[in-house]
Amino acid sequence: MSAPAGCQLVGRWRIVEADLWDRDYLDLCGPAAIVIGGEGRGEIAFGAMQATLDIEYSRSSIGFAWTGFDEGDEISGEGAPELLDDGFIEIEFEYHNGDDAVLKAKREPFSTAC
């Protein structure tokens, strides 16, 4: 299912904060980022974690299941980004059988909404 025409979440976002980790950890293996695609796919990377996103869209929000690896271990979970009034997104990021984190990201300057 493709994204609604007015989707403001599609694009590349730079993860700048997290409630569980500091900025040095977030950027451990490169700039922390999430890419939200308009065709049901995306990706996220921060710390030593890299994952692909399987995105579901509704008229007012999106959610995603994710699978990937962190330091060689297979991991998975769910997440939900929300657009804030200041133009940032806040992402509820949940690990299956593990931690829940809140990430904050800003749109990359060269990335536009759909």
Q: SS3 for the chain, per residue?
A: CCCCCCCCCCEEEEEEEECCCCHHHHCCCCCCEEEECCCCEEEEEECCEEEEEEEEECCCCEEEEEEEEECCEEEEEEEEEEECCCCCEEEEEEECCCCEEEEEEEECCCCCCC
Confidence bin at 6 (pLDDT 50/70/90) = very low
For 55-101, how does the pLDDT look when each residue is reduced to its tens digit (9 = 90+)? 998 776 789 999 999 988 999 999 999 989 999 999 999 999 888 99
- The confidence score (pLDDT) of residue 5 equals 35
Percent of the chain with pLDDT over 90: 68
pTM of the prediction?
Answer: 0.87
pLDDT of residue 98: 83
